[in-house]
A and B are shown apart, each in its own frame.
Chain A
Amino acid sequence: MSQGAVGNDVVDLDDVSPASERTRQRFIERVCAPSERELLAQSDDPRTLLWVLFAAKEAAFKLASKLGPVPVFAHRNFIVDRAPLAGAPFSVTLPSAVRARGTVDVHGRAIHAVAWVGEGEPHREVIVGPDARAALLVHLGLEEARVVRAPRADAYDGLGPPRVEVRAQPHPVDVSLSQDGRFAAFALVPVRA
């Protein structure tokens, strides 16, 4: 039985820390693997590509946290195999050596990266606004649906990934939520009940 799982991340390009620009080279060395630094060196737009890579890694981390124990979040250990330009698929290798599929969409000043395992391709949306949870529930259009997070000891905030319940029963989708600056985003894949 194939179970899908998904992670997503949105980056507001107008909300990037200016310090990241000032300490840019050290930031790159901290976040990017050598192969990714090569992609940046070859890129016509390395500033945008850096944030595309960052979003892809964040999405991959959220995915990896669903596939096993929460890994050490060292960005450079989540390796993107090619410059993930808008609409073009890429792969990201997780620290566990699992290879996840990925995609990046650029919506104006929003970068939205999604990483997943399983069949098909995730549904994904970016909204202008702070509430990814509400946007997800609107999309699902289910009565008495809610998004919950169970306690999880190894998570940074003590809570596990979001799950959808309908009338207190698990709904057969895996979801991921993200918020940054002006934007919120979600992605979901169906899972077999």
Chain B
Amino acid sequence: MEQQAEVMGKVVEILRPFVKNADALSSVSMETSILKDLKVNSARLVDIVLEIEDAFGIAVSDEQADQVKTVGDAVTLIMKTGKA
């Protein structure tokens, strides 16, 4: 299982093209809200879920996607669901 920091690094890189303000990622943490702090809109959030599925080889259900509010939520989901 990948370490949390490594997963978080990959998640940040997945988020990067969808975040209009690159500076917002410079201080990202597990508590960073994807919608509120990174100002990612809901359409881009669907894209992010698809990218996470591809990058980590996992399937994310609607209910799981609905629970992803923060960067930490995405990392936790990946670590619970993902493969090494």
**Within 8 Å of chain B (Cβ to Cβ): is A180?**
yes
Can you spell out 15 A-B residue pairs with CB atoms less than 8 angstroms apart?
Answer: A11-B43, A17-B43, A19-B51, A20-B47, A23-B47, A23-B50, A30-B46, A72-B62, A72-B63, A74-B63, A74-B66, A75-B46, A156-B69, A157-B35, A157-B36
Chain A residues near B36: list those with CB within 8 A. Answer: 156-157
In addition to A16-B43, A20-B43, A27-B47, 11 A-B residue pairs with Cβ atoms within 8 Å of each other are A17-B44, A19-B17, A19-B47, A26-B50, A27-B50, A30-B49, A31-B46, A54-B43, A72-B63, A74-B65, A74-B66
Interface size on B, residues (CB 8 A): 19
**CA distance in complex: A78, B73 (Å):** 24
Residue-wise, chain B 17-48 has the 8 Å CB interface mask toward A (1 for contact) of 11000000000000001011000011110110
A-to-B contact residues, CB < 8 Å: 11, 16-17, 19-20, 23, 26-27, 30-31, 54, 58, 72-77, 156-157, 180
Counting from the closest, the 7 A-B pairs by CB-CB distance are: A74-B62, A19-B47, A72-B66, A17-B44, A23-B50, A157-B36, A17-B47
**CA distance in complex: A72, B67 (Å):** 9
Chain B residues near A11: list those with CB within 8 A. Answer: 43
Given the known interface contacts A19-B17, A72-B63, A157-B36, the answer about A30 and B42 at a Cβ–Cβ threshold of 8 Å is no
**CA distance in complex: A17, B49 (Å):** 13
B42 is contacted by which of A26, A58, A157 (Cβ under 8 Å)? A58
User: Smallest CB–CB gap between B29 and chain A, Å?
Assistant: 17
User: Smallest CB–CB gap between A56 and chain B, Å?
Assistant: 13
**CA distance in complex: A23, B18 (Å):** 14
**CA distance in complex: A54, B44 (Å):** 12
**CA distance in complex: A20, B66 (Å):** 18
Please, which residue of chain A has its CB at the minimum distance from the CB of B62? A74
**CA distance in complex: A72, B62 (Å):** 8
**CA distance in complex: A16, B42 (Å):** 11
Chain B residues near A27: list those with CB within 8 A. Answer: 46-47, 50
A73 is contacted by which of B18, B33, B42 (Cβ under 8 Å)? B42
**CA distance in complex: A11, B42 (Å):** 11
A19 is contacted by which of B18, B62, B66, B69 (Cβ under 8 Å)? B18
**CA distance in complex: A7, B18 (Å):** 25
Chain B residues near A75: list those with CB within 8 A. Answer: 46
